[in-house]
Amino acid sequence: MRKKALITGASRGIGEAAARALAGEGYDLFLVCRSSWEKLDQLRRELEEEYGITCQAALCDVSDQAQVETMMAKAGEIHVLVNNAAISYVGLLTDMTPEEWHQVMGTNLDSLFYTCRLAVPQMVRRKEGRIINVSSVWGNTGASMEVAYSASKGGVNSFTRALARELAPSNIQVNGIAFGVIDTDMNACFSQEELEALEEEIPAGRMGSAGEAGELIRMLVKAPEYLTGQILTMDGGWI
């Protein structure tokens, strides 16, 4: 029986790339996104046809505990959990409403609690499992005009390290990836001029691709069991 990976935020960008990478490794998949059903279902059909795997898809607002519980029950046995879903807010902290703050925290950080608390018991029972949390370099250093996003990703990093310590005796690996600027739709809020200026600051001279991000997730899934509790940084030498 093939192992199954659950990926949140899977309809595009890093999540889609991770889905393609793990499908190439023979994993059955359970793909989740909040609202882009047509894209998600199209990806599901493509992966089943190309790789001969079983791929399920579901809409779920991962900031909603009840929706996550329903989704996880449908997913069943999960061997790899990739917490990728995230949203950003660019603007002054003083212009941000409490509702917007809670939306960022709910999607980016609370969701990890909701998914992990349901996936971990079955992993502990099997004495096997991998959890990969997608973070950001702003979780390491903080970014002006992105206080909520930075705070949420800093929380992701601490959550990852702490849970890794908790689960290491059960042979479950928990790691995170702090990505730099990856060429995805999340950067649509920036102008072409702003993106070009940003690329000039990156030693590699360019943004990373979603495919490269997906490849690193694939490698981390296959990494030695002794690698746990780490926040790997992939940013082209930027920070």
Q: Which residues are annotated as catalytic?
A: 149
3-state secondary structure of 143: coil
Helix (H) or strand (E) holding 122: helix 111-126
In whole angstroms, what is the distance from residue 47 CA to residue 196 CA?
Answer: 33
Beta carbons within 10 angstroms of residue 237's beta carbon? 10
Helix (H) or strand (E) holding 163: helix 147-167
**86 closest CA partner among 70, 109, 58:** 109
